Structure 1
Amino acid sequence: MARNKRIVVGITGASGSLYGYSLVRALHQLGVETHLIVTEMGEKVLQFECGVGMETVKQYAEVHSNKNLFASVASGSFLTDGMVVVPCSMNTLGAMANGVGDTLLSRSASVMLKEKRQLIVVPREAPFHLIHLQNMTRLAEAGACIMPASPGFYHKPKEIWELINFMSGRILDMLGIDHELLQRWGEKA
């Protein structure tokens, strides 16, 4: 029996929580079953940068506590179509790159890698030092897609939402989910 797409989203404490919030809302609007894990700092940054609390986010996804290693998304037998960590802090990136599974977010990322499912990591840091780059390389070698939060400008954005939707659209493209969030190169609006 076919099922709808099921995506796990992780939001960490890196700046750029608007990317994660936008993606969760887009997945909801597209009818994708979404499971959300937000770190403690992720909640604080989401509130600080977006003015959005967890009560608002809960209307768009099933929210799992980052401390709950018994959650469905902690197991490979829970079928998912991929996971996106957006924004991804360097702390979380380091834990994922080194196989540390002491939180639900890092455990779920490890599940994606071991089950050969798509793991998209959207780091939001600048500049990168050598350890950041080595951790990204380790994740890429393990099968993750590293997609820095670097929106394009060829669509001539006039508002911040156009930049945010560009990144959300590119992430949805990687997940194989049809959408109309961005203007594609060579196509008329």
Structure 2
Amino acid sequence: IEANLGLSADEIETALITNNEDLARIHIALLKGIPPVNKKLKLNVDDGWVIATAKKLSDWWSWVAEGANPFEKNRGKEVETFKEQDPVNRLFILKALCEVRLEQNDAVCYITDEMKKGVSIGNFRKDKLGSASDGAIYWYVGDSTIGHRLYKEDVLVGFKNNWKGKDGRLTKPVTNIQWETVATNLNEFLEISVTFPAEMFFMCISLFSTDI
């Protein structure tokens, strides 16, 4: 994405909630890196970026996302469909488009070249900060531009009994992943991090304090 977008995490979250111009800017920046490029894509022009997004994802959805493609049910009504989505579904659509952008040759070559120079893979792929005693997984994302976020990932695995046949048995497990934003400022980081193991606690505070 163009570096000059300069959007903070708050602005990105607001864009997903309100479907504002910033959300269009993000999508257009991604679309410009996915050939064939529509050079006519502009802000506030008949929401053409939504139609372009739907077209890109129609070819890629099964490779980069899970579940049904929300645009498939109402072909020809992509703009209306997008406006009807809740913020979570808009996030899934944006994530899928990011995955498509990452698959393009220039992105792959850039990452490969940077790693040959000794740049850490962590610059391109987030690793988990750690796990708490209750099994929750924590992820940190942040810098001086977007701000700081600590996310909690709960992975819940459930089994259902299948009583058909002579002997009942457990069916294939159903995995449910839930995400929660647990900290957006230093006070919230301190409050949640006291429950972490010592090593994870100091890593968390160190990361958050870097740009303060």
Q: Look at both structures and tell me which one has the larger radius of gyration over its CA atoms.
A: 2
Bigger proportion of residues as helix: 2
Same fold (TM over 0.5): no
**More RCO (CA 8 Å, sep 6+):** 1
Q: TM-score, normalised by structure 1?
A: 0.31
Q: TM-score, normalised by structure 2?
A: 0.29
